[in-house]
């Protein structure tokens, strides 16, 4: 799913407890695709200039020179984004949207491809600044990384040395990603699929457990994610199963539940699965 987001120029919110290899995942993707990777640890005292860059005085020349921030890389791991202040969060999210930053009135374009993998811990709420609903909508997907099962944990322990010694080899480059992005747009989508996507988004707004449903941006994300998934499966056309497979990561952060539903223990993923049962595929 992260590759699907990269292929369409989207950004991903990774939600999971510490120690489930979120950083390793981001580094591996960057290495395999020969992309520049940087990790930014978000803290309450992090400033916007610490991310995008600032002007620095050079005593030798008597002039101010620009010092670009760590956001100037292909893949950014924004670790624990909800620990930074809303002002700092907005600086990152604006850069994600505009794909450029402005320092002292001068605009600098960010590298292409550009992917932000932002992480947040769903357990720790003390000292955090939850992302507002409008900001969450800017993420193409939210992927929830759970604990491995007992059998998976045992397998990790068995392969521990191999995991540490394992070296990833590059298999593609930034140019390849840009070519794939062009191919995604060429994937055929029948009008019946477009209606299916529209019906899913409409149903998300009408659902009794939902206070705020999917926006037009959600419909666009469903379409593009389905196209990317079809291409990754070796097809040049989208089928209903593509839409179903991407529905949860694309919609689970865009559906805001009613207060009653939250008290009843309903989760966004429950609503999405119910919607997929209600809306008949073409």
Q: 95-123, pLDDT tens digit by residue?
A: 888 999 988 888 999 999 999 999 887 76
Residues 210 and 255 sit within 8 Å (Cβ to Cβ) = yes
**Predicted confidence (pLDDT) per residue in 42-52, tens digit:** 999 999 999 99
Q: Which residues contact 157 (CB under 8 A, 6 or more apart)?
A: none
- Which pLDDT value is given to residue 62? 80
Q: Which domains can be identified in the chain, with CATH numbers?
A: 1-182 (3.40.50.300), 186-282 (1.10.8.80)
Rounded Cα–Cα distance for residues 10 and 139 (Å): 7
Strands 12-15 vs 141-144: parallel, antiparallel or unpaired: parallel
User: Can you tell me the distance from the alpha carbon of 155 to that of 190, in angstroms, rounded to the nearest whole number?
Assistant: 43
Binning pLDDT at 50, 70 and 90, where does residue 163 land? low
238 near 244, Cβ under 8 Å? Answer: no
Highest-scoring range by mean pLDDT, 57-61, 135-139, 197-201 = 197-201
Task: Give the rounded percent of residues in the chain with a pLDDT score beyond 70.
Answer: 96
d(CA 122, CA 29): 24
Task: Tell me the average pLDDT of the chain.
Answer: 89
DSSP 91: H
Residue 69 has pLDDT above 80, yes or no: yes
Q: Sorting pLDDT into bands at 50, 70 and 90, what band is 164?
A: low
Longest dimension (CA), the chain: 69
Q: Are 236 and 230 in contact (CB under 8 A)?
A: yes
pTM of the predicted model as reported, rounded to 2 decimal places: 0.88
Three-class secondary structure of residue 147 per DSSP = coil
| Structure token pair of residue 254 | 């865009």
How does pLDDT run across 188-214, given as a tens digit for each residue? 999 999 999 999 999 999 999 999 889
């Amino acid at each position: 799913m992260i590759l699907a987001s990269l292929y369409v120029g989207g950004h991903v919110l990774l939600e999971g407890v510490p120690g489930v290899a979120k950083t390793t995942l981001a580094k591996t993707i960057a290495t395999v695709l020969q992309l520049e990777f940087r990790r930014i640890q978000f803290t309450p005292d992090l400033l916007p200039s610490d991310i995008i860059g600032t002007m620095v005085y050079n005593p030798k020349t008597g002039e101010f020179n620009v010092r670009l921030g760590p956001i100037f890389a292909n893949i950014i791991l924004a670790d624990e984004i909800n620990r930074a202040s809303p002002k700092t969060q907005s600086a990152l999210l604006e850069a994600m949207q505009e794909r450029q930053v402005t320092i002292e009135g001068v605009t600098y374009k960010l590298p292409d491809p550009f992917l932000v993998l932002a992480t947040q811990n769903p357990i720790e709420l003390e000292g955090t600044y939850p992302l507002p609903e409008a900001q969450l909508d800017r993420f193409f997907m939210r992927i929830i990384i759970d604990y491995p099962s007992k059998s998976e944990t045992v397998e990790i322990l068995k392969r521990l040395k191999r995991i540490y010694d394992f070296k990833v080899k590059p298999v593609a480059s930034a140019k390849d990603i840009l070519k794939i992005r062009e191919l995604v747009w060429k994937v055929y989508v029948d009008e019946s699929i477009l209606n299916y996507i529209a019906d899913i988004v409409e149903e998300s707004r009408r659902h009794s457990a939902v206070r705020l449903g999917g926006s037009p941006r959600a419909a666009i994300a469903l379409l593009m994610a389905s196209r990317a998934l079809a291409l990754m499966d070796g097809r040049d056309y989208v089928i209903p199963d593509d839409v179903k497979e991407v529905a949860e990561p694309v919609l689970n952060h865009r559906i805001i539940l009613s207060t009653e539903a939250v008290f009843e223990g309903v989760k966004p993923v429950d609503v999405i699965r119910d919607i997929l049962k209600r809306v008949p595929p073409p």
